[in-house]
Amino acid sequence: MTLLLAESIYGGYGGTDILHGVSMAMDPGEMVVIVGPNGAGKSTAMKAVFGLVNVREGRVRFQDEDITNLAPDRIVGRGMCYVPQEANVFPSLTVHENLEMGAFIRRDDYSDQLDRVYELFPPLKEKRRQAAGTLSGGQRQMVAIGRALMLDPRLLLLDEPTAGLSPRFIDLIFERVREINDQGVGILMVEQNAKQALAMADRGYILVLGRNRHEDTGPNLLNDPEVAEMFLGG
Amino acid sequence: MVHFVQILLYGIVLGSVIALGAIGVSLIFGILRFAHFAHGDLMTLGAYLALAGVSGLSLPMFFAFLIGIAGTAAISVGIDRVLYRQLRRVSPIILLISSLGVALMVRSSIQMIWGPDNKIYSGGVTMPWVVEGIRIKPEWIYIVGGAVVLMVLLHLFLQRTRLGKAMRAMSDNADLARVSGIDTEKVIIWTWIIAGVLAAAAGIFLGLDTRLHPIMGWKLLLPVFAAAIFGGIGKPYGAIAGALVIGIAQEFSTLFISPAYKPAVAFGLMVAILVWRPTGLFSGKVL
Amino acid sequence: MEFSGLISYLVFFLSMAGIYGILALGLNMQWGYTGQINIGVAAFFAVGAYTAAIVTTSPSPDYLGGFGLPFVVGLVLAMLVAGVLALFVGLVTLKLRSDYLAIATIGIAEIVRLFLKNEDWLTNGVRGIPAIPRPFGNLGGVDDSVAFLLIVLLMVAGVYWTMQRMFRSPWARVLRAIRADEDAVMASGKNVLRFRTEAFVIGSMFMGLGGALYAHFTGFISPEAFDPMFGTFVVWVMLIAGGSGNNRGALLGAVVIWAVWTMTESLTSMLPGDLVTQASALRVFLIGLLLEIILLTRPQGMLRERPPRPIDDGAGERQAR
């Protein structure tokens, strides 16, 4: 079974296309990274997969089922969860309540999953009664990812999880993302910190101006001097 | 001193009524993102539905109260399903204008059915208790007590139940709520149920304290909104504080200016907070 | 109906339609041009009417007014006072967004109404101000009303022409730009607040003019005449029905909705006496229903404005295809 398959996606906001025939594929448990210059449409591609952006042409298949243009609240129930780049926690709710909201559609006992998230992010356990809006950027990001994990997804979409974080937290988040991936959860991640991301990734896609430009394993992309120069920056 | 306490009591009673309306307005603004100008008339609706229970069905006040709140909740949900839901995608301004139309339709329907004259729940005047020179109407116990009970129930709902937390989540960030899989339409329906119940209770309490007439709710719309804005719109707890401030201030203003200008006090306080601290006392959203 | 009766009915109808047309044009300046929600139209309408009344009636022992000044002076002062009130409102609230302005205008209308009712020394309170003169004195009969109708139509034409001129001007281009993207306009250094205030004040001045004409038309005003239903809500329905943002739409809406209103009045006046107040409530209900139907089915109104506007987002554009 292919975990995720996006075929020739054309789409964008309103009437204009931002994506011009983007294709991606993932196997279960893979970590795939999307990198590229600003304005490449990386976040848009991810949102198109999750039903947040209109797919005008092309298809998205998740676990061999067509989910093209399905609304996000229908996709979440099938095992794909999404962490937006900004405004990704409920600020007036406590950490614990944020996680509870992540599990909203679950009708079973999810205390196991809660424990697992707290194990993954120990600072959250300590601050679980604190309002999420009062946490630091790095801790908020942990809440954001934790919320998305509550449904025990097969595929986790992360939109620039380390944006705006201090180096210490960047390392921490990447470490945790790898750990989540080690537990068998597929990761599709858009990242500006391309080098660090590709170093962990199984595979990577380079998008430029809404089109596929390059695709290869993580290490290959990292070691390709042309790619490094053009797309990976500093 | 006695005078002071008497006025304070008037203010607390009025504040309790305004609070129940203001909480609903705040919730609707936080979750549905528009200023619901038909809210005052929902209060009137609740009062008159209860009247139908009392005079039409000869029910005791308590059961009439239940009819009032249930009927108003159902009608509020109905109005949303038929009208507001179709307009959500257009703009919050159109929703505001539409709610003005709803206000007029509700008010005029009430006038058509019950007529324009003042009405009361029961004939016979209950004698106020006099304690240390302070007059206390027995109804006030029900009004303030009832308001407190409703607010406590709401608090428990918002803090302890799954749906209540989802409501707070959606008020924080509706997009993230959707992305998390929260059933936003269900939350919206419950928002209208709660707003309808609280508004009806406010109307019934107001009717108990004074009397019923078709514009009773519309006359409170300004203080209700002022209270919601004062406390920070989108923050139901702030609305309670705002309502008490406005209620008490309105009553105390009678010491200095003509009672006819009481609504102007609410307006003045609202303008003051908009100029000084637009997010309200408890930093709600800015409209 | 005999011919002269028909003529006088038509003259009456067109005079009121014209007055409401001016109110609708004023509201169009505020809502249509700059997206500012004024739910206190009645306040400016009333202020204009009372100013004209106080200034032009003969002296009276009951209240301050009665300066016996000419008609034109009344009109001008009515517009000025309405404009000053609008400036005051604007200074306080125009920095904030439309929902706040909406509530603030409700507050203003309420305060104005209370003021008119209670400050007897100026306004004669609930007793109202009678015997407001017509500009040509009392010629009596049809000639007098026709003359007044011509004045009203002249004013309508004047306001309409002014607004059309302003609509094409560079000033209006900035207003449209503000409506489309306020931040961009601010970034280019233009004082957005000043433009919005100007539009708000000018719109209110037109409403004051309408009020003054109304006072002379009916000859008697009291606070009751300016209740939110007649003074504000009906104007909104007119503008939305006719097509907001659109001057011809405003006038068309005024005529059509006024026709609906007066027709329902003649229908319900045929009902037995004790049903009369219920009947007036029924008319209010129908107007409210009409508004909702318009918002649901054709929110852009009868005459679409050609440049894009907020009310057309989504709904209007979908219907354009």
Size of interface A-B (CB pairs under 8 A): 64
* C271: pLDDT strictly greater than 80: no
A53-99 residue pLDDT tens: 999 999 999 999 999 999 898 899 999 999 999 999 999 999 999 99
Mean pLDDT confidence for B4-12: 92
What is the residue-level pLDDT of chain A in tens, covering all 234 positions? 889 999 999 998 877 889 999 999 999 999 999 998 888 889 999 999 999 999 999 999 999 999 999 989 889 999 999 999 999 999 999 999 999 999 999 989 999 999 999 999 999 999 999 999 999 999 999 999 999 999 999 999 999 999 889 998 999 999 999 999 999 999 999 998 888 898 999 999 999 889 998 899 988 888 888 777 766 554
State the pLDDT at residue A234.
44
CA distance B101 to B98: 5
State the pLDDT at residue C35.
81
The type of residue at A196 is Q
- Contact at CB, C111 and B112, closer than 8 angstroms: no
Cβ-based burial of C295 (10 A; exposed 0-12, middle 13-18, buried ≥19): buried
State the pLDDT at residue C258.
93
- Choose among A72, A93, A100: nearest Cβ to B178: A72
Distance from CA of B177 to the nearest CA of A (A): 8
- Among B157-161, B265-269, C252-256, the range scoring the smallest mean pLDDT is B265-269
Q: Which is nearest to B71 in space by CA: B44, B46, B102? A: B46
Share of chain B above pLDDT 70, in %: 97
3-class state of residue C167 by DSSP? helix
* Residue of chain B minimizing CA distance to A133: B172
Reported ipTM: 0.91
Mean pLDDT confidence for C49-74: 79
State the pLDDT at residue C317.
36
Q: Which is nearest to C136 in space by CA: C144, C127, C124, C128? A: C144
State the pLDDT at residue B287.
45
Which residue has better confidence, B52 or C318? B52
State the pLDDT at residue C177.
74
- Contact at CB, A72 and B183, closer than 8 angstroms: no
Q: Domain A30-40+70-202+210-232 is of which CATH architecture? A: 3-Layer(aba) Sandwich (3.40)
* B107: pLDDT strictly greater than 50: yes
Cβ-based burial of A30 (10 A; exposed 0-12, middle 13-18, buried ≥19): middle
A153-173 residue pLDDT tens: 999 999 999 988 999 899 999
CA distance C132 to C71: 10
Starting at the edge strand found earlier in the chain, the sheet holding A211-217 runs A80-83, A155-159, A186-190, A31-35, A203-208, A211-217
Mean pLDDT confidence for C108-129: 83
- Contact at CB, C92 and B111, closer than 8 angstroms: no
Q: For residue C189, name the pLDDT band (cuts at 50, 70, 90).
A: low
Tell me which of B80, B82, B87, B93 to substitute to probe the interface with C (most C C-beta atoms closer than 10 Å).
B93
- Contact at CB, B172 and A73, closer than 8 angstroms: no
The DSSP H or E segment spanning B203 is helix B184-209
* C311: pLDDT strictly greater than 90: no
Question: Is chain C adjacent to chain A, meaning 3+ CB pairs within 8 angstroms?
Answer: no
CA distance B54 to B32: 34
Mean pLDDT confidence for B63-90: 95
Q: How many CB atoms lie within 10 A of CB B240?
A: 25
* Residue of chain C minimizing CA distance to B95: C295
Tokens, residue C239 = 């503008």
CA distance B48 to C237: 27
State the pLDDT at residue C312.
31
- Contact at CB, A104 and B184, closer than 8 angstroms: no
- Contact at CB, B221 and C111, closer than 8 angstroms: no
Helical pair B138-160 and B162-172, crossing angle rounded to 10 deg? 80
Helical pair B262-276 and B236-253, crossing angle rounded to 10 deg? 130
Tokens, residue B13 = 């009673």
Cβ within 8 Å of residue B19, ≥6 positions away:
B147, B151, B202, B227, B239, B240, B243, B244, B247
Q: For residue C47, name the pLDDT band (cuts at 50, 70, 90).
A: very high
- Choose among B87, B112, B287: nearest Cβ to C97: B287
Which residue has better confidence, A82 or C94? A82
Cβ within 8 Å of residue A89, ≥6 positions away:
A98, A132, A133, A140, A143, A144, A147, B176
Distance from CA of A151 to the nearest CA of B (A): 9
Query: What's the 3-state SS for C236-260?
Result: HHHHHHHCCCCHHHHHHHHHHHHHH
* Residue of chain B minimizing CA distance to A77: B181
State the pLDDT at residue B134.
86
Size of interface B-C (CB pairs under 8 A): 137
Q: Report the number of secondary-structure helices (H) and strands (E) in chain C.
A: 15, 0
State the pLDDT at residue B270.
87
Cβ within 8 Å of residue B71, ≥6 positions away:
B45, B46, B49, B200
* B151: pLDDT strictly greater than 70: yes
Strands (E), A63-181: 65-66, 80-83, 155-159
CA distance C109 to C125: 16
Kindly report the average pLDDT of chain B as a whole number.
91
Q: Of the spans B65-74, C62-71, C73-82, which averages the highest pLDDT?
A: B65-74
Tokens, residue C167 = 């609509």
- Contact at CB, A101 and B177, closer than 8 angstroms: yes
For each of the domains in chain B, give its residue range(s) and CATH number, in order of start: 2-276 (1.10.3470)
The type of residue at C59 is P
- Contact at CB, B182 and A77, closer than 8 angstroms: no
Give contacts of A43 with chain B, Cβ < 8 Å: none
Distance from CA of A48 to the nearest CA of B (A): 13
A82, β-bridge pairs: A157
State the pLDDT at residue B22.
97
- Among A112-121, C180-189, C252-261, C289-298, the range scoring the smallest mean pLDDT is C180-189
- Among B219-233, C182-196, C224-238, the range scoring the smallest mean pLDDT is C182-196
* C308: pLDDT strictly greater than 80: no
State the pLDDT at residue C318.
37
Helices (H), ranges, A21-83: 42-50, 72-75
Which residue has better confidence, B204 or A224? B204
Q: Could you tell me if A21 and A8 are in contact, meaning their C-beta atoms sit under 8 angstroms apart? A: yes
> Phi then psi for C284, rounded to 5 degrees?
-60, -45
Question: Is chain B adjacent to chain A, meaning 3+ CB pairs within 8 angstroms?
Answer: yes
State the pLDDT at residue A123.
93
Q: Which is nearest to C248 in space by CA: C200, C308, C309, C306? A: C306
The type of residue at B3 is H
- Contact at CB, A104 and B173, closer than 8 angstroms: no
Residue the block writes with tokens 């107001």: B206
State the pLDDT at residue C305.
64
Distance from CA of B125 to the nearest CA of A (A): 47
Q: Which is nearest to C53 in space by CA: C39, C36, C66, C70? A: C66
3-class state of residue C181 by DSSP? coil
Chains that touch A (3 or more CB pairs under 8 A): B
- Contact at CB, B180 and A93, closer than 8 angstroms: no
Q: Which is nearest to A45 in space by CA: A222, A232, A209? A: A209
Handedness of CA C232, C235, C236, C237 (dihedral sign): positive
DSSP label at A90? -
State the pLDDT at residue A184.
93
Q: How many CB atoms lie within 10 A of CB C182?
A: 14
Tell me which of B81, B89, B90, B221 to substitute to probe the interface with C (most C C-beta atoms closer than 10 Å).
B90
